[in-house]
Every structure is written in structure tokens, then in C-alpha cells.
Amino acid sequence: MIFQQRKLWLWMGIVLAAIAILTIFTAPNSNKLMAGSTYSKEPDGYGAWYEYMSNKGVTLKRWQKPFNEIIHDSTDNSKNKTITYVQIFPDKIPVIYSNSEYYKWVGKGNKLIILGVEATATKAPFTSQHSYKNLQFQLKTTRRKQKVVDSIIQDEYGAVVWRTKVKQGEIIYAVSPYIAANAYQGVSDNFEFMAQLADSNNEIIIDEYIHGYKDIETKQAERQETLSQYLSQTLWLPLTIQGLLITIISLIFSWQRFGQAKKIKVTNIDNSQAYIEALAGVLEKAESTDFVIKVINKDEQLKLQQKLGLGRKMLPTNILIAEWVKQTQKSRNQLQQLLQISPQKKRISEVDLLKWIQKWQLINKEEERNNKAR
């Protein structure tokens, strides 16, 4: 009996270890996704540089489609204006072969800028000062590219920024993705250096698709997902595996045999009503709603963000409200009242809480119907 108990504890320890490992390796990493985005106000974002260019009178277009769509879009453009296409911290660096459509597109006089290219760490100081024409700017990286033919910024340790000529166009690479990040706001000439690289004479397009932003057409094209793809992109995958592991362990140590299969009468359950009733029971015992309100508010906000195509990272409420109003043409007060709920008392009435939850569910259901209709 003691041996079996020890064996049970051993198996339970294995299950808990598996759950911990799955949680670590399957948790979404949204911080890296937003690094380099012009929508981000974080230190590694490019929101300040976007405003800097706008104040100079330069129009930047935020591209929310895959990279290859820019080729077809510019081909159909009758203005034939050259384009500067900027990718900041892409997850995968595009490989431009000499016979590829990307190569031909750049060769027509367009410019491709890729910030955040992998390079070797050197003995260079982490913070370094560089000159470009009449500009003085600062970079924080020890990485340098070796054996570069046409360098733009280089020191004794190697190249920091370099170019590759492609007929009438060029591709510019940089080892640091943070050349004009928000962290450099007001520091030396970093913003102006990035502006000169982009060349305001061209139409400047910023790739926001790699940061999780997608327009309506792209969302509709990518909506046809298989069940396995959906599970692999959400936390349902580790939860499903964890449930299977616990079920297997329970069966191993169960002394009961499987009996004759019995038909179970299935009753229709209103999931929303069951959820509300269960939540009300928990609140009644806990005598506190503050924590639950915060959790539900965050969960419902993330659901709405994903339906609007704004990614998985929690955005500031003003950005979410502005995008929701833009897409739905509804009053901002309707969503603002839900997002800014902050109970002053330890416990609010059950009726008010249920009304608040139902309003959230109504907004998300309406947005889901709108997505299907688009």
C-alpha cells in the first residue's frame, strides 16, 4: 500500500513537471511581436519616429498585408512612384534571390530597409557614437557585420549599417532594430538618420503585418483555419494535453473497471447563463468582486482586440477605443464605460455586475458577426 502511494506521488510529480514545461514553452510572446511597431509607445517601439516624420510633413503608410502583396499593389499603381519599404525586427529576414519577384521589384528603383539583421557579437563597446553626413547619432549593440562591400556606417569592429545595390534600387541592412526606437527620442540625431535612410522623396511604407496588424481583406483571407492551426495558436493546446495526462494517470491508478456503456441524456445548456450563475456563486462566497472584474475586463478586452485585428498584447484603452470606433462607427462612450469600470466599494451589487458582463458579451458577439459579414 505504501509502495503504491509512493508510485502515485511519483506519477503526479511527472504530470506537474510536464504541465510547467508546457506552460513555459507554449505561452505567447507578444512583447517581441510589438518591438519595432509604429503603434507601440514602449521603448522598443517606433511610435515617436512615426510622429516625428508626420510633423515633418512626410506621409508614412502602415502596411497590414504580407510583404509579397506590396509587389502587386505597386505594379497596379499608375503613378509609378518609387517606394521605400521598411521592416523593423522581422521574425524572418526575407531572402532576396536574383531571380525572385522581390529582386525584380527592388531593381525597378525601390528601396527595402531591414532593421535587426543577425550579426556576430564583437568586442565593440555596447554604446557607440557614429557620424553620417552632418548627423551624430548613438547605437547600443556590440554586433557587427563582417566582410561588407558597401557599408554606410562602419567602425573598426565591422559594419553597423550597409547596402546591397540591385540595379536601380537597393537593400539596406542594419544589425540594430532600434536605430530610431522610442528610447532614442530626444537623443542625438537618431530619428533624422532613420529619416534620411528612408528617403522622403519615396513613398515610405512601414510593415505592420509582421507585428500582428492585419487589414480586413487579409483577415478574411486567413480566416479559413483548420482546428489544429487554431489550437496551436492558443492556450487550448497545452490545456488539452494537460487534461489528457491527468486522465491517463487517473485511469492507471483507478481500481474500478469500465462497465457497460450507458446512454447519458444530453441536456441543452445555456453556456452564458451557466457561466453567469457560477460566477455569481463564487462572488457570493468571496465577498469581493475587484479581482474578478479585473480578470474579466482584461479577458474581454483581449478578445475584442483580436477580433479587431490588433494583436494579442494588451493595448492602451485609448488606442483600442479609437480603433473600435473607426471600425464600428459607434459612440466611444459605449466601450469607454466598460473599460474604465473601477468599483470604489469592496463589493458591488450582483445585478450591476451581471449587466456589465452581458454588455461585454454583446459587444464581442456584435464584432464577431461583423467580421463574418465583411
How are beta strands 158-166 and 60-63 bridged, if at all? unpaired
Residue 167 has pLDDT above 70, yes or no: yes
More confident position, 220 or 64 = 64
Mean pLDDT of 254-264: 56
**Higher pLDDT residue, 22 or 58?**
58
Instruction: Give the mean pLDDT of 160-168.
Output: 93
Distance from C-alpha of 283 to C-alpha of 277, rounded to nearest angstrom: 10
At 285, is the secondary structure helix, strand, or coil?
Answer: helix
Closest-CA residue to 338 (of 358, 323, 308, 365): 358
d(CA 37, CA 348): 39
Does residue 199 carry a pLDDT above 90?
no
Q: CA-CA distance, 326 to 337, in Å (whole number)?
A: 17
pLDDT of residue 283: 58
Q: How large is the average pLDDT for residues 283-294? A: 66
Contacts 24+ apart (CB under 8 A), 26-29: 26/235, 26/237, 26/238, 27/235, 28/235, 28/312
What's the one-letter identity of residue 249? I
Burial (0-12, 13-18, 19+ Cβ within 10 Å), 108:
middle
Distances (CA, A) of 61 to 70, 76, 83, 94, 182: 12, 17, 11, 20, 19
pLDDT at res. 330 = 80
> Which residue from 125, 123, 102 is spatially nearest to 114, judged by alpha carbons?
102
Half-sphere exposure of 234 (CA within 13 A, CB side): 13
Distance of CA 357 to the CA centre of its chain: 26
Give me the percent of the chain exceeding a pLDDT of 70.
70
Structure confidence by residue, pLDDT tens digits, 105-163: 999 999 999 999 989 999 999 999 999 999 999 999 999 999 888 999 999 999 999 99
Q: Which pLDDT belongs to residue 218?
A: 83
Q: Which three cell numbers stand for residue 104?
A: 525584380
Whether 115 contacts 174, CB under 8 Å: yes
Domain segments of the chain as ranges: 32-214, 271-373
Residue at grid coordinates 530610431: 180
DSSP result, 55-98: HTT--EEEE-S-THHHHHHHHS-TT---EEEEEES-SSPPP--T
pLDDT tens for each residue of 204-241: 999 999 898 888 888 887 776 545 566 555 666 677 77
Range name among 65-74, 257-266, 285-294, 308-317 with the lowest pLDDT average: 257-266
Phi first, then psi, for residue 163 (nearest 5°) are -130, 160
* Cell numbers representing residue 210 in the block: 509582421
pTM to 2 decimals?
Answer: 0.54
Among 126-140, 168-182, 272-286, 301-315, the least confident range:
272-286
Q: How confident is the model at residue 351 (pLDDT cuts 50, 70, 90)?
A: confident
Residue type, 89: F
265: pLDDT confidence band, cut at 50, 70 and 90? low
Residue 241 C-beta-side C-alpha neighbours within 13 Å: 16
